[in-house]
Each structure stands twice: as structure tokens, then as C-alpha cells.
Amino acid sequence: MSFRVKAALSAVGALLAATATATTASPAYSATHTAVAAVESGPHGARIWVTSNGGPIRQCKYQTCGPVYQTYAGEPLYTDYDELNNYGNRWYHITSPAVGWIYCGNISAC
């Protein structure tokens, strides 16, 4: 998991503690436009909302893979983990609004 995602999860934990809410938190937008709205448990650990910068959600972790959904700038995306492809590029596995992969440069968490 990337440093920024870990930092976002840490920030959400502090937000949850501050608001005494155990299930969800209101969207929190930082000066860098990183958005985290909720943390839940998933098969790979915590799942978080991040904000799209625009770009496609693809079938796999490579630019040559076909798109399954075109995001728009500012759209909230739900991710449960990230991975590096064979070229060392970080991709995030997205579970909503569509299932697939989005390149790190296309979301605010990077």
C-alpha cells in the first residue's frame, strides 16, 4: 500500500475518533484535493474513497488494457488496494463505480 494511501487511512482514523463515528465519516478534502469519505474492511484490508482526476478504469494494470468505465474529474472512486505492474507503475483496484484498475496519476491519492 502506498504512503499516501496509508496517510489517508491514518487521517480518516483521526477523523473517526474526533467525530466518535465508527461506520462512516463526512468527506474530508485536504489542500491537495485528496478525498477520503469512508473506511471499511475489505478482502485486502481497508477500502477507501479517493477522487478521480479523470481517466479510464481499465480491465487490467496496463495502459494497453481496454477501458471499462470513463471517470470524470472530481468523481469519487472506491479502492481496496494498489499494486505495481511489471513496469513499476502504481495502479489502484477500483470497486465502484466500476470494477477494474485506474492508473495512479488519474486519482488524487497519488
- pLDDT single digits (tens) 67-79: 999 999 999 999 9
Let me know if residue 26 belongs to a domain. no
- In the numeric block, the cell 491537495 is attached to 32
Tell me the C-alpha to C-alpha distance, in Å, between residue 103 and each of 16, 61, 64, 71, 86.
Answer: 28, 8, 12, 12, 13
CA distance 51 to 65: 22
Tell whether the model's pLDDT for residue 106 goes beyond 70. Answer: yes
Q: Is 42 exposed, middle or buried (0-12, 13-18, 19+ CB in 10 A)?
A: middle
Domain assignment present for 64: yes
Task: For the full predicted model, state whether its pTM sits above 0.85.
Answer: no
- Please tell me the total count of domains within the chain: 1
Q: Give the tens place of pLDDT for each residue, 7-59.
A: 455 544 444 444 333 333 334 333 333 444 444 555 555 678 999 999 999 99
Domain range enclosing 43: 3-17+33-106
First to last CA, the chain: 11
Does residue 88 belong to any structural domain of this protein? Answer: yes
